[in-house]
Amino acid sequence: MPNNLTPTEFLYACSVAPEVFELRPDYRALLLVVEGLEPQASSAVADELIAHAEAHAKELLAETPVDQLPQISAWRDAYRGFGAKPQRTRNSLEALTRRAADGLPRVNALTDIYNAISVLHQIPLGGEDFDLYDGPAQLPRAIGDEAFDTTAGGEIVIENPSEGEVIWRDNTGVTCRRWNWRQGKRTALSEKTSTAFFILDALEPMTDERLSAVGEELGQALESLGGAVQISRRMIGAQ
Protein backbone atom coordinates (compact mmCIF):
# COMPACT_ATOMS: atom_id res chain seq x y z
CA MET A 1 0.00 0.00 0.00
CA PRO A 2 1.30 3.53 -0.71
CA ASN A 3 2.80 5.59 2.09
CA ASN A 4 0.19 7.96 3.51
CA LEU A 5 2.48 9.71 6.02
CA THR A 6 3.99 13.14 5.51
CA PRO A 7 7.80 13.19 5.52
CA THR A 8 7.87 14.64 9.04
CA GLU A 9 5.34 12.11 10.34
CA PHE A 10 7.27 9.32 8.70
CA LEU A 11 10.68 10.35 10.06
CA TYR A 12 9.50 10.75 13.63
CA ALA A 13 7.73 7.39 13.51
CA CYS A 14 10.90 5.60 12.34
CA SER A 15 12.59 3.58 15.07
CA VAL A 16 15.64 1.56 16.05
CA ALA A 17 14.95 -1.31 18.45
CA PRO A 18 16.74 -1.39 21.84
CA GLU A 19 18.31 -4.76 20.98
CA VAL A 20 20.12 -3.13 18.05
CA PHE A 21 21.65 -0.53 20.37
CA GLU A 22 22.56 -3.34 22.77
CA LEU A 23 24.48 -4.92 19.90
CA ARG A 24 26.12 -1.64 18.86
CA PRO A 25 25.66 1.28 21.29
CA ASP A 26 27.69 3.46 18.90
CA TYR A 27 25.17 3.10 16.06
CA ARG A 28 23.42 6.13 14.60
CA ALA A 29 21.06 6.46 11.65
CA LEU A 30 20.66 9.69 9.73
CA LEU A 31 17.38 9.58 7.80
CA LEU A 32 16.49 11.91 4.92
CA VAL A 33 13.29 12.28 2.91
CA VAL A 34 13.90 14.20 -0.32
CA GLU A 35 10.86 15.57 -2.17
CA GLY A 36 10.59 17.24 -5.56
CA LEU A 37 12.99 15.02 -7.48
CA GLU A 38 12.64 14.96 -11.26
CA PRO A 39 12.94 11.25 -12.14
CA GLN A 40 14.56 11.75 -15.54
CA ALA A 41 16.97 14.46 -14.45
CA SER A 42 20.62 14.29 -15.42
CA SER A 43 23.28 16.01 -13.38
CA ALA A 44 26.86 17.16 -13.92
CA VAL A 45 27.11 16.96 -10.11
CA ALA A 46 26.62 13.19 -10.31
CA ASP A 47 29.39 12.83 -12.89
CA GLU A 48 31.81 14.88 -10.77
CA LEU A 49 31.01 12.93 -7.60
CA ILE A 50 31.49 9.59 -9.33
CA ALA A 51 34.91 10.68 -10.63
CA HIS A 52 35.97 11.89 -7.18
CA ALA A 53 34.72 8.71 -5.52
CA GLU A 54 36.61 6.47 -7.92
CA ALA A 55 39.83 8.43 -7.39
CA HIS A 56 39.33 8.39 -3.61
CA ALA A 57 38.83 4.63 -3.56
CA LYS A 58 42.05 4.11 -5.51
CA GLU A 59 43.93 6.27 -3.00
CA LEU A 60 42.47 4.44 -0.01
CA LEU A 61 43.16 0.97 -1.38
CA ALA A 62 46.70 1.88 -2.43
CA GLU A 63 47.57 2.38 1.24
CA THR A 64 45.23 0.08 3.19
CA PRO A 65 43.60 -3.32 2.58
CA VAL A 66 39.87 -2.85 2.09
CA ASP A 67 38.90 -4.85 5.19
CA GLN A 68 41.11 -2.61 7.36
CA LEU A 69 39.54 0.70 6.33
CA PRO A 70 38.00 2.07 9.58
CA GLN A 71 34.29 2.09 8.70
CA ILE A 72 34.46 -1.15 6.72
CA SER A 73 36.25 -2.84 9.62
CA ALA A 74 33.62 -1.52 12.05
CA TRP A 75 30.79 -2.90 9.91
CA ARG A 76 32.52 -6.26 9.58
CA ASP A 77 32.57 -6.43 13.39
CA ALA A 78 28.90 -5.45 13.53
CA TYR A 79 28.00 -8.23 11.09
CA ARG A 80 29.85 -10.79 13.19
CA GLY A 81 27.85 -9.55 16.18
CA PHE A 82 24.59 -10.92 14.73
CA GLY A 83 26.11 -14.04 13.20
CA ALA A 84 26.77 -12.95 9.60
CA LYS A 85 30.03 -13.78 7.86
CA PRO A 86 31.34 -10.50 6.42
CA GLN A 87 33.62 -12.20 3.93
CA ARG A 88 30.55 -13.84 2.36
CA THR A 89 27.98 -11.05 2.77
CA ARG A 90 29.78 -7.75 2.32
CA ASN A 91 28.10 -4.61 3.61
CA SER A 92 27.14 -2.15 0.89
CA LEU A 93 30.05 0.19 1.65
CA GLU A 94 32.64 -2.55 1.25
CA ALA A 95 31.05 -3.84 -1.94
CA LEU A 96 31.00 -0.35 -3.50
CA THR A 97 34.53 0.52 -2.37
CA ARG A 98 35.88 -2.65 -3.94
CA ARG A 99 34.13 -1.83 -7.23
CA ALA A 100 34.96 1.88 -7.19
CA ALA A 101 38.67 1.41 -7.76
CA ASP A 102 37.85 -0.11 -11.18
CA GLY A 103 34.83 2.11 -11.86
CA LEU A 104 31.51 2.53 -10.10
CA PRO A 105 28.37 1.22 -11.81
CA ARG A 106 26.31 3.94 -13.49
CA VAL A 107 22.54 3.64 -12.98
CA ASN A 108 20.93 7.08 -13.04
CA ALA A 109 21.80 10.46 -11.51
CA LEU A 110 19.87 9.77 -8.29
CA THR A 111 21.55 6.43 -7.59
CA ASP A 112 24.93 7.59 -8.85
CA ILE A 113 24.94 10.51 -6.41
CA TYR A 114 24.30 8.44 -3.31
CA ASN A 115 26.70 5.68 -4.36
CA ALA A 116 29.44 8.27 -4.84
CA ILE A 117 28.73 9.92 -1.46
CA SER A 118 28.88 6.49 0.19
CA VAL A 119 32.38 5.80 -1.18
CA LEU A 120 33.70 9.35 -0.71
CA HIS A 121 32.72 9.46 2.96
CA GLN A 122 33.03 5.74 3.70
CA ILE A 123 29.51 5.26 5.00
CA PRO A 124 26.83 2.68 4.11
CA LEU A 125 24.04 4.60 2.40
CA GLY A 126 20.77 3.25 1.04
CA GLY A 127 18.15 4.96 -1.09
CA GLU A 128 14.53 3.87 -1.57
CA ASP A 129 11.21 5.14 -2.91
CA PHE A 130 9.41 6.90 -0.06
CA ASP A 131 5.99 6.49 -1.68
CA LEU A 132 6.33 2.69 -1.72
CA TYR A 133 6.81 2.35 2.04
CA ASP A 134 4.01 0.88 4.14
CA GLY A 135 4.36 2.86 7.33
CA PRO A 136 7.63 4.01 8.92
CA ALA A 137 11.04 2.38 8.66
CA GLN A 138 11.99 0.17 11.59
CA LEU A 139 15.34 -1.42 12.51
CA PRO A 140 14.81 -4.51 14.71
CA ARG A 141 16.48 -7.90 14.91
CA ALA A 142 14.54 -10.41 12.82
CA ILE A 143 12.24 -13.10 14.14
CA GLY A 144 12.95 -15.06 10.95
CA ASP A 145 9.52 -15.18 9.30
CA GLU A 146 9.59 -11.70 7.76
CA ALA A 147 9.16 -11.49 3.97
CA PHE A 148 11.99 -10.15 1.81
CA ASP A 149 11.49 -9.84 -1.94
CA THR A 150 14.58 -10.29 -4.09
CA THR A 151 15.53 -11.87 -7.41
CA ALA A 152 16.96 -15.28 -8.25
CA GLY A 153 17.49 -16.44 -11.82
CA GLY A 154 15.80 -13.30 -13.06
CA GLU A 155 12.59 -14.04 -11.12
CA ILE A 156 11.16 -12.34 -8.02
CA VAL A 157 11.39 -14.65 -5.01
CA ILE A 158 10.51 -14.27 -1.35
CA GLU A 159 13.19 -15.05 1.22
CA ASN A 160 13.29 -14.86 5.01
CA PRO A 161 16.06 -13.33 7.10
CA SER A 162 17.94 -15.36 9.68
CA GLU A 163 16.70 -15.18 13.26
CA GLY A 164 18.49 -12.37 15.05
CA GLU A 165 19.63 -10.68 11.84
CA VAL A 166 19.45 -6.88 11.89
CA ILE A 167 16.92 -5.77 9.26
CA TRP A 168 15.31 -2.60 8.01
CA ARG A 169 11.60 -3.18 7.50
CA ASP A 170 8.20 -1.51 7.23
CA ASN A 171 4.72 -2.84 8.04
CA THR A 172 4.73 -5.14 4.99
CA GLY A 173 8.13 -6.75 5.28
CA VAL A 174 11.91 -6.43 5.01
CA THR A 175 13.27 -3.52 2.96
CA CYS A 176 16.97 -4.25 3.55
CA ARG A 177 18.65 -7.39 4.92
CA ARG A 178 21.66 -7.58 7.22
CA TRP A 179 21.49 -3.92 8.20
CA ASN A 180 22.89 -2.60 4.92
CA TRP A 181 23.72 -5.64 2.79
CA ARG A 182 20.95 -6.04 0.21
CA GLN A 183 17.85 -3.94 -0.46
CA GLY A 184 14.52 -5.42 -1.52
CA LYS A 185 12.75 -4.83 -4.82
CA ARG A 186 9.42 -3.58 -3.45
CA THR A 187 10.68 -0.18 -2.27
CA ALA A 188 13.54 0.24 -4.76
CA LEU A 189 14.24 3.53 -6.48
CA SER A 190 13.08 3.68 -10.08
CA GLU A 191 12.68 6.13 -12.95
CA LYS A 192 9.31 7.05 -11.42
CA THR A 193 10.69 8.06 -8.01
CA SER A 194 9.92 11.67 -7.11
CA THR A 195 10.32 11.37 -3.32
CA ALA A 196 13.25 9.35 -2.00
CA PHE A 197 14.14 8.03 1.45
CA PHE A 198 17.80 7.72 2.43
CA ILE A 199 19.41 5.88 5.34
CA LEU A 200 22.97 6.78 6.35
CA ASP A 201 24.37 4.19 8.79
CA ALA A 202 27.20 5.22 11.10
CA LEU A 203 29.43 3.48 13.63
CA GLU A 204 32.45 4.83 15.48
CA PRO A 205 34.90 6.30 14.61
CA MET A 206 32.42 8.43 12.60
CA THR A 207 31.21 11.32 14.75
CA ASP A 208 27.75 12.88 14.84
CA GLU A 209 29.21 16.06 13.35
CA ARG A 210 30.75 14.23 10.42
CA LEU A 211 27.56 12.23 9.87
CA SER A 212 25.53 15.45 9.75
CA ALA A 213 28.01 16.95 7.29
CA VAL A 214 27.68 13.93 4.99
CA GLY A 215 23.91 14.33 5.08
CA GLU A 216 24.29 18.00 4.16
CA GLU A 217 26.53 17.14 1.20
CA LEU A 218 24.08 14.48 0.01
CA GLY A 219 21.22 16.96 0.23
CA GLN A 220 23.10 19.65 -1.67
CA ALA A 221 23.97 17.21 -4.44
CA LEU A 222 20.37 16.03 -4.73
CA GLU A 223 19.21 19.63 -5.16
CA SER A 224 20.66 19.36 -8.67
CA LEU A 225 17.88 16.89 -9.55
CA GLY A 226 14.92 19.26 -9.36
CA GLY A 227 13.98 22.89 -9.17
CA ALA A 228 11.90 22.51 -5.99
CA VAL A 229 13.74 19.87 -3.95
CA GLN A 230 12.82 19.85 -0.25
CA ILE A 231 14.69 17.83 2.38
CA SER A 232 13.53 16.62 5.80
CA ARG A 233 15.91 14.82 8.15
CA ARG A 234 16.24 13.13 11.52
CA MET A 235 19.12 11.47 13.37
CA ILE A 236 18.44 8.48 15.63
CA GLY A 237 21.00 7.37 18.21
CA ALA A 238 21.15 5.47 21.48
CA GLN A 239 20.83 8.66 23.52
Phi first, then psi, for residue 169 (nearest 5°) are -150, 165
The model scores a pTM over 0.85: yes
Write down the domain spans for the chain: 7-237
pLDDT tens-place string over residues 207-219:
999 999 999 999 9
Q: What is the DSSP letter of 166?
A: B
Going by C-alpha positions, the residue among 144, 211, 215 that lies closest to residue 173 is 144
pLDDT tens-place string over residues 4-17:
899 999 999 999 99
Q: Please tell me whether residue 76 adopts helix, strand or coil conformation.
A: helix
- Distance CA(199)–CA(159), nearest Å, equals 22
With a cut of 60, say whether residue 1 has pLDDT above it.
no
With a cut of 90, say whether residue 117 has pLDDT above it.
yes
pLDDT tens-place string over residues 171-186:
999 999 999 999 999 9
Q: Which residues of the chain form beta strands (DSSP E)?
A: 15-16, 28-35, 125-129, 138-139, 148-152, 155-159, 168-169, 174-177, 182-183, 196-202, 230-237
Length reported for the chain = 239
Q: Please tell me whether residue 141 adopts helix, strand or coil conformation.
A: strand
CATH class of 7-237: alpha beta
- Distance CA(78)–CA(80), nearest Å, equals 5
